[in-house]
Amino acid sequence: MTAIIFIHGLESSNQGTKSVFFRERFPDMMLPNFTGSLDVRMQKLDRLLKGKTDIRMVGSSFGGLMAAIFTMRNEFRVDRLVLLAPALNLLGHSVRDIRKIGVPVSLYHGTNDRVIPVDKVRAVARDLFSDLAFHEVEDDHFLHHTFKTIPWERLLKTSDTG
């Protein structure tokens, strides 16, 4: 069963700007709210996606880290990742010892990001993903100028959505 999910960042919620955008444009998109530690959040994500396949995941900041971890554990269930200034830097250099993830990944990161500097993410992303489209954009951590210009319909289109 196909699922599309947005995973917000550490300090955000499912009422944030990105969630509102997705709620208006993709009514079937899952927009859960996450709180607590990474382990608590991952347990909730696992429960929400239990039994689902062909998953399209959008993860923002800490939510991007969560999407990457979920995909590392469940690659066969994930169809595509879209990562927005993901906190992949928290994975560190340990990813060099991991088999690369073959899921198509579109990653957008601002060159003016002061929360998660793009240079901290670039190498980790290239070590982790074999099918990576890395978009460095002139923007901040929140991708204020870029977010609405991302080709969401194309990236999130599934066989169920047409």
- Would you say residue 161 lies in a domain? no
Q: Flag whether 44 is in a domain.
A: yes
- 9: burial class by Cβ within 10 Å (0-12, 13-18, 19+)? buried
Specify the pTM: 0.92
Rounded to 5 degrees, φ, ψ at 67 are: -60, -40
The mean pLDDT values, 10 residues at a time, for the chain of 162 residues are: 88 82 94 94 96 96 95 95 94 67 97 94 92 96 95 81 44
Write down the pLDDT at residue 156.
92
pLDDT at 11: 80
Residue 30: inside a domain, yes or no? yes
Residue 162 domain-assigned? no
Q: What's the pLDDT score for residue 93?
A: 57
- Whether residue 121 lies inside any domain: the answer is yes
In the block, tokens 């499912």 appear at 14
Nearest to 94 by CA among 123, 71, 134, 114: 123
Which domain CATH number covers 128?
A: 3.40.50.1820
Domain residue limits at 25: 3-156
pLDDT at residue 3, as a whole number? 94
The total domain count for the chain is: 1
